[in-house]
Structure 1
């Protein structure tokens, strides 16, 4: 689609090996974008690219694959440095990778509750490190794939790992609230979006039935389009702009979350 506004755009999609991430990559590539597909391992990322070429007819030249396990922040750093080196001009970052919090309280090797790290802290670190490459030209942006469950959450400032009182649903919701708050960070132009309950690995958190992943992906891709004007920090429920949870747009909460995240990802002295 050479006349698409997304033609000649470069977009990094995290968690692009399945579900909404894979469908987002497909739709972007079909609209002419160069898509950087992130997977947990190089093998998973390569398999996703091969699948798009074989089943969707995507030009292999439009796809680049990258790997990083988001339970390891050193791998996130390596991913960012590689992307900046190979693609110094990045138009859109889609922070999509996510996991459901496990039944049992789990802490990563970096010392963080696993859902908080994979769903939020890894994306926080990646976004900060990619800032030099993220274009300031019109249309450049970050799209955080969040969740309506952020409305049920609170951030446990004194115990973000929830080591004293753990609930998998509360841990997941906290990670989604943090990701939604992060969209209001003034350093980059960003929005967050709840793509709806879709048939993905996260569906059990929401409902028994969900829409096809491609429907959720369409809401994400719409926000990647430079023709769609956005306001920094805006939150969308599918294709409708709505108010997020009150905490998500409070300047004090944004600053407090940044300070917490900087400590947890090891970016403070």
Structure 2
């Protein structure tokens, strides 16, 4: 599927009208106080889902919930706020424990939250380059802690319906180096905020594929949602201005996430697939990235496995 097709995608064929009632289904959408996450949470709530909105700010979380309730007054679903700071590994386990006191199931985890090109030198609470921390390590730990619940839910759900969705970016196929990641840059991030962003988004793709290799029952996919005019560009406003002609509304781009999380086109047989705007399974991911997501026993380079193991090492004491 050409990059041109991702820049100028067809209209979504999987829309809210394609989705039946999600009554009884439990969803977590990270970073859902604005942008794509907000629009996705609204869609899921409109279809009567039990939706958890995560954010670091309780005030922003409650504001988003009130806005969605006002926009969708007739839903029989529920909206709840879950405090989560992805840039602080020490607090993620407590957020998961809070969630587990309220729910015994989890059907889809949308790892939607992210940060793009903050000021050079920005770091997490643990002193890790902020983009790798927020976009990869935090979601990795959050997912690992929730995985037993996801797998248990999958045992009692229709095959392939329990999923983890990782939000990546087209910038991976456009800008990632051969094999996707230079591990030396992961261990010692360069003084290049754009390169670190590319590395973090490649990391999302690799974590999705590696989870798919490791889980028999939970579907794990990554995606390029499509260029959307959101506050993700708050640190690169000039880029946002120049790229605006190629940008779409957050609501339109959220259809890519909706497809990844709920479409029946994605099955366990497509576990680890890559989804492109506005809801299509890509058939021609860059060859070296495909090889990086395969193990040595499959003729690949094992780079995704190597990145997964780095994430395990970095988050191990917080499990």
TM-score above 0.5: yes
Q: Please state whether the residue corresponding to 2:184 is helix, strand or coil.
A: coil
Q: CA deviation at 1:41?
A: 1.8
Larger radius of gyration: 2
CA contact (8 A) 1:191 1:234 kept: yes
How far residue 268 of structure 1 moved from its aligned partner, in angstroms, is 8.8
How far apart in 1 are the matches of 2:20 and 2:76? Answer: 19
How many residue pairs get matched? 267
Distance 1:109 1:37 in 2: 22
Pick from 217, 227, 232: which aligns with 1:202? 232
Range moving further from structure 2, 146-155 or 88-97:
146-155
Secondary structure of the residue aligned to 1:208 is: helix
Summarize the Cα distance change of 1:87–1:167 in structure 2 as closer, same or farther, 3 Å threshold: same
| Aligned equivalent of 1:55 | 71
Per the normalisation by structure 2, the TM-score is: 0.77
Residue 5 of structure 1 contacts residue 226 of structure 1 at CA under 8 Å; is this kept in 2? no
How many Å separate the matches in 2 of 1:58 and 1:183? 35
> Could you tell me which residue of structure 2 aligns to residue 190 of structure 1?
220
Relative CO higher for 1 or 2, CA cutoff 8 Å, sep ≥ 6? Answer: 2
- Say whether residues 1:158 and 2:184 are aligned partners: yes
Task: State how far apart, in whole Å, the 2-side matches of 1:249 and 1:216 are.
Answer: 25
Question: Contact 1:156/1:162 (CA < 8 Å) preserved in 2?
Answer: no
Spell out structure 1 runs of 4+ moving beyond 6 A: none
Instruction: Give unpaired runs (5+ residues) of structure 1.
Output: none
SS in 1 for 2:281: strand
TM norm structure 1: 0.91
1:103 aligns with 2:119: yes
1-structure distance, mates of 2:143, 2:317? 13
Unaligned segments of structure 2, at least 5 residues: 1-16, 296-301
Show the counterpart of 1:180: 205
Give the CA RMSD over aligned residues: 2.2
2:197 and 2:21 map into 1 onto residues whose CA distance is 34
Alignment partner of 2:266 out of 199, 220, 229 = 229
Deviations along 1:47-86, whole A, 9 cap, x unmatched? 1101111233264851111111211112222112222232
Q: Which has the higher helix share?
A: 2
